[in-house]
Amino acid sequence: MSNLTYLTAQELRAKIGSGEISAREAVMASLQRINAVEDEIRAFLTVATHEALEQADAIDERRAKGEDLPPLAGVPIALKDNMCTTGIRTTAGSVILGDFIPPYSATVASRLEAAGAILVGKANLDEFAMGSSTENSGFFTSRNPWDTERVPGGSSGGSAAAVAAGEATIALGSDTGGSIRQPAAFCGVVGLKPTYGRVSRYGLIAYASSLDQIGPLGHSVYDCALQLNAIAGHDPLDSTSANIAVPDFTAACGGDVKGLRIGIPKEFFEQGVSAEVAESVQKAIEKLQELGATVEECSLPHTEYALAAYYIIAPAECSSNLARFDGVKYGHRTNELAGHIGLTEKTRDEGFGDEVKQRIMIGTYALSAGYYDAYYKRAQQARTLILRDYLAAFERFDVLATPVVPTPAFKAGEKADPMAMKLADVCTLPINLAGVPAMSVPCGFVSGLPVGLQLIAKHFDEETLFRVGSAYEQATEWHHQHPTL
């Protein structure tokens, strides 16, 4: 069953549908792989062995009865552990939710189950999705399968590492400022941040509600399209979910890029991007040009304000969202104090890590009387200018192409300076501020470490990303390379 480890979801689903293998065999291969490499990778906070095998047997029973199987039937999936799953521990990577077992499932979890995907485990993340390396997890740091001394990225580092290591065929992450695309690039897999509102956030433990968006990771562009087909669409349980038609995203895969206009924002090559990463991305852009696209440099002039605006808006929203963790209704509760105020303070002190505390304090300060106009209001004004840059660019171009991250994966502990860590997201977080969709596609290696090409499209035009991403993928071999463990 080891030969199943690096099959794509498309390939695995075809084998299950034809009866060449059973869903149980597919899940057992995933669980055996987890058992073999998890001590090195540490991608999972919870492995759902019993539940996964039960679901697999149910799929096999349906096949035995001659029933039509759903599009992801029997495909093992990892969910980032900030998505609620009924009866399965959901921690958001935080001690404060270390023993939390939700009574309900996130909409994306329910939709994937309906599509036949089988949950093999909950993946590690930076606490409450605040970080770029999983080093901020309240439990342990995940490792990059290409070099276990290096981080897998964050905050969806466990999800990306699980796919890259062959522990799960596909995965979901969440992306607030690059948290799907950055780990996808670091781990050499495909990752998509959909348009804000394309996918329901119901059951996602919130970090910054105007920025968070759930999206897929996989070995191929097509695998991400399969997942987006399953999870996209309006959800009455999420007031920010867009009531807009959902196309068949897999139909966009396999097309050509002839005549497509690709813009190259110059600011994204000036953000401390290493020469080697820039070269890999430029070669990828040249390949798209060879395939028939037209390429032209452009400018997104307000990009320089994105980092500062993001680190006011996101902490402000986190300050509000995380106020609910007070030790009263659910989650960790201190045993040391009795009075209500003392209970809340001590519970939060014990339950939150340093990065989360820092962002709560920054956000609370930015929203406080006398500082709201000076910080939060101005950050939102900068956000509007950034959005206008993208709207103007998409009047001229079908897609924008940039690096995902300035460097390849860094070593654990290398970016102890918080500012250095935040700069790792400089190419991704403007996209969240604008709310547009973006994809990371493997485009090369630097010193044996993967590099990602970032493709950006206008609102609700994920189809163009799948079209361009799959065309590039089919013309190159990067996605066929896997780490040796």
CB 145 within 8 A of CB 165: yes
What percent of the chain shows pLDDT beyond 70? 99
Average pLDDT value for residue range 461-484: 97
- Model-wide pTM > 0.75: yes
pLDDT confidence tier of residue 134, bands split at 50, 70 and 90: very high
Task: Supply the pLDDT for residue 419.
Answer: 82
List the beta strands (DSSP E) in 38-154.
44-47, 76-80, 118-123
Domain ranges of the chain: 2-256+404-480
Query: Residue for token digits 């991403």?
Result: 469
The CA distance from 183 to 88, in Å, is 24
Return phi, psi of residue 348, to 5°.
-70, -35
Task: Supply the pLDDT for residue 421.
Answer: 87
Q: Identify any residues that bridge with 402 across adjacent strands, giving them in sequence order.
A: 454
Indicate the range of 84-88, 157-161, 260-264, 339-343 predicted with least confidence. 339-343
Question: Angle at CA 480, nearest 5°, toward 479 and 483?
Answer: 95
pLDDT digits 0-9 by tens, 38-76: 999 999 999 999 999 999 999 999 999 999 999 999 999
SS (H, E, C) 423-462: HHHCCCHHHHHHCCCEEEEEEEEECCEEEEEEEECCCCCH
The CA distance from 444 to 450, in Å, is 6
Tokens linked to 1? 């069953």
pLDDT digits 0-9 by tens, 272-319: 899 999 999 999 999 999 999 999 999 999 999 999 999 999 999 999
For the CA atoms of 437, 442, 445, 448, the dihedral, rounded to the nearest 10 degrees, stands at 110
| Nearest Cα to Cα of residue 346 among 150, 96, 147, 21 | 96
Cis peptide upstream of residue 155 (ω within 30 degrees of 0): yes
Task: Supply the pLDDT for residue 189.
Answer: 98
Tokens linked to 356? 């989360």
CB 102 within 8 A of CB 146: no
Task: Supply the pLDDT for residue 422.
Answer: 86
| Nearest Cα to Cα of residue 175 among 360, 438, 459 | 438
For the CA atoms of 193, 199, 204, 206, the dihedral, rounded to the nearest 10 degrees, stands at 70
- For the annotated catalytic residues, the residue numbers are 80, 155, 179
Tokens linked to 265? 């924002």
Tokens linked to 45? 């906070």
Task: Supply the pLDDT for residue 23.
Answer: 98
Tell me the HSE value of 350 on the side-chain side, using a 13 A CA sphere: 18
pLDDT digits 0-9 by tens, 323-377: 999 998 899 999 887 677 788 999 999 999 999 999 999 999 999 988 999 999 9
Residue 251 has pLDDT above 70, yes or no: yes
Return phi, psi of residue 314, to 5°.
-65, -50
Question: Average pLDDT of the chain?
Answer: 96
The CA distance from 257 to 147, in Å, is 34
Neighbours of 6 (CB within 10 A): 18
Average pLDDT value for residue range 449-461: 98
For residue 385, what are the CA distances in angstroms to 120, 351, 422? 42, 37, 21
pLDDT digits 0-9 by tens, 196-240: 999 999 999 999 999 999 999 999 999 999 999 999 999 999 999
SS (H, E, C) 41-72: HCCEEEECHHHHHHHHHHHHHHHHCCCCCCCC
Could you please state the CATH topology (level 3) that the domain comprising 2-256+404-480 is classified under: Amidase signature (AS) enzymes (3.90.1300)
CB 282 within 8 A of CB 295: no
Tokens linked to 8? 């794509």
pLDDT confidence tier of residue 2, bands split at 50, 70 and 90: low
Query: Residue for token digits 């058992």?
Result: 35
Task: Supply the pLDDT for residue 107.
Answer: 98
Residue 459 has pLDDT above 60, yes or no: yes
pLDDT digits 0-9 by tens, 403-429: 999 999 999 999 988 888 888 899 999
CB 161 within 8 A of CB 142: yes
Q: In one letter, which amino acid is 45? A: L
CB 93 within 8 A of CB 138: yes
Task: Supply the pLDDT for residue 1.
Answer: 42
